[in-house]
Amino acid sequence: MKESITYIDRKTGKKKIERVYGQFALEFLYNGNILGHSLAYLSAKLSFLSKLYGWWMSQPWTKKKIQPFIQQYHVNQSEFLDPVDTFRSFNDFFCRKLKPEARPIAESDAIIPTDGRYLVYPDISQSDGFLVKGKQFSLKALLQDGALAAKYEKGSLVMGRLNPSDYHRFHFPIDCRADSARLINGLLYSVNPISLKQNIHRLTENKRVVTQLESEDFGEVLYLEVGATNVGAIHQTYDPSKDQKKGNEKGFFSFGGSTIILLFKNRRMKFSEDLVANSSQYFETLCSMGQPLGSKF
């Protein structure tokens, strides 16, 4: 029996059922059977499989997959900066840029950094679970730095999950100066709820990149990009020597699903009320890059 994932569409406020890319495979790999668990571990550990798949999806013959994918997942072509017929491969389509007017930047102090499904936690220390009640991960394990983790243990957390059908370029959520990105090598488990509800700690095991942002309004903020199945490559396109405006591009993911995590220190971020309300009921909120995330205290 298929497991349904319910989220709330921010534009309409209505609950929707997610169309899960590769749902049959995800349920086989992550629903607790021994064979599936073993195969999931092997596919997550053997990074060359993701690299091979990434290479395959960058070949010209994968162009034929683009239109069927657009139709199946209702991807809005009118938002694309470049026409579909100019994409040289499926990965070109996956890493597409959008017209600036397709993602207007809100006037709020902080904005949603990338298209995706969002959960917010105003006080990590008071949360009774991430995604699922009673299940949490360790900031120390996530950051691989106990002293750094201690600075955020009573802070606020944002989790944004991207599906393969989403726009996969990620942007700065605030006006800031960004340090150079730090790679933490790891595995490549799926970050779909089907996987994370079984084991939330996969977020702390996957390959990820950590960037520290310095902001006048929010102080020090951590920005993490977490890789996932078939996402061996996390590309940074920003210049660490330059000040960044909210909405500026930071980078992009190659093919697959992936996750963005933001960490704010205690009493620096006041999230938008709808995001808090939905998250308190364990519903992700489907958001577009540039929509309001919250304001400074």
**DSSP-based three-state secondary structure for 118:** strand
pLDDT digits (tens, 9 = 90+) for 44-68: 445 556 667 777 888 999 999 999 9
180 is catalytic: no
Reported residue count of the chain is 297
Return the pLDDT at 19. Answer: 78
Active-site residue, selected from the candidate residues 190, 258, 279, 288? 258
Question: Among residues 115, 165, 168, 190, which one is catalytic?
Answer: 115
Chain mean position to CA 106 = 20
Amino acid at site 129: G
C-beta separation of 164 from 255 below 8 A: yes
Q: What is the pLDDT of residue 266?
A: 97
* pLDDT tens digits, one per residue of 17-46: 987 655 444 444 445 555 545 454 445 445
Residue 75 in this model has a pLDDT that exceeds 50: yes
Whether 115 is catalytic: yes
Surface-to-core class of residue 24, CB atoms within 10 Å of its CB (0-12 exposed, 13-18 middle, 19+ buried): exposed
Task: Report the chain's mean pLDDT, rounded to a whole number.
Answer: 85
- Res 88 pLDDT > 90: yes
**The pLDDT value given to residue 254:** 84
Give the span between the Cα atoms of 75 and 166, in whole angstroms: 8
123: annotated active-site residue: no
Per-residue pLDDT tens over the stretch 97-136: 999 999 999 999 999 999 999 999 999 988 776 655 556 7
Whole-number pLDDT of residue 14: 97
From the list 43, 92, 109, 171, the catalytic residue is 171
Domain assignments of the chain as residue spans, ordered by start: 1-297
- Whether residue 58 contacts residue 89, with contact meaning beta carbons closer than 8 Å, is answered with yes
The whole-angstrom separation of Cα 279 and Cα 70 is: 29
Report the range of poorest mean pLDDT among 4-8, 58-62, 75-79.
4-8
